Amino acid sequence: MLTQEEMTRLQAEGHDLIDTAGFRSAEEFVIHLIHTAAYAHAARLVEGKTVLDLGCNTGYGTELLSRSAGRVAGVDVSEGAIAAARSTYRASGIEFQVIDGKSLPFDSGVFDVIVSFQVIEHIVNYANFIGEIRRVLAPGGVVVFTTPNALIRLDPGMKPWNEFHVREFSHSELRSLLGEHFQCMSILGLFANEPLYSIEVNRLTRGREKARVASAGGLSVMTVRQGAKRILPRGVLRVARAVRNLVTPGSDARTADLMEKHGVESLFYQEDNLESALDLMAVCSDDQQALEDCRRKMVKRMT
Mean pLDDT of the chain: 89
Residue 60 has pLDDT above 70, yes or no: yes
Q: What is the mean pLDDT of residues 98-106?
A: 95
pLDDT at 56: 97
Three-state secondary structure along the chain? CCCHHHHHHHHHHHCCCCCCCCCCCHHHHHHHHHHHHHHHHHHHHCCCCEEEEECCCCCHHHHHHHCCCCEEEEEECCHHHHHHHHHHCCCCCCEEEECCCCCCCCCCCCEEEEEEECCHHHCCCHHHHHHHHHHHEEEEEEEEEEEEEHHHCCCCCCCCCCCCCCCCECHHHHHHHHHCCCCEEEEEEEEECCCHHHHHHHHHHHHHHHHHHHHHCCCCHHHHHHHHHHHCCHHHHHHHHHHHHHCCCCCHHHHHHHHHHCCHHHEEEECCCHHHCCEEEEEEECCHHHHHHHHHHHHCCCC
pLDDT of residue 22: 77
pLDDT of residue 182 exceeding 50, the answer is yes
- Residue 21 has a CB neighbour count (10 Å cut-off) of 6
CATH architecture of residue range(s) 4-299: 3-Layer(aba) Sandwich (3.40)
- Tell me which of 106 and 223 has the higher pLDDT: 106
Average pLDDT for 222-250: 43
Percent of the chain with pLDDT over 70: 88
User: Is residue 44 within 8 Å of residue 297, measured between CB atoms?
Assistant: yes
The pTM for the full model equals: 0.88
- 239 phi and psi angles, rounded to 5 deg: -65, -45
pLDDT in tens, 252-299: 788 899 999 999 999 999 999 999 999 999 999 999 999 999 999 999
According to the model, what pLDDT value does residue 199 have? 97
End-to-end Cα separation, the chain, in angstroms = 44
Burial class (CB in 10 A: 0-12, 13-18, 19+), 196: buried
pLDDT tier for residue 230 given thresholds of 50, 70 and 90: very low
- 176-185, 235-244, 252-261, range with the lowest pLDDT: 235-244
Average pLDDT over residues 111-121: 98
Q: Can you give the residue ranges of every domain in the chain?
A: 4-299
Query: For the residues 164-173, what does the mean pLDDT come to?
Result: 97
For 121-143, what is the mean pLDDT?
97
Of 44-58, 110-124, 242-256, 266-280, least confident by mean pLDDT is 242-256
Residue 195, preceding peptide bond in cis (omega within 30° of 0): yes
Is 233 a residue whose pLDDT tops 60?
no
Dihedral angle sign, alpha carbons of residues 173, 174, 179, 183: negative
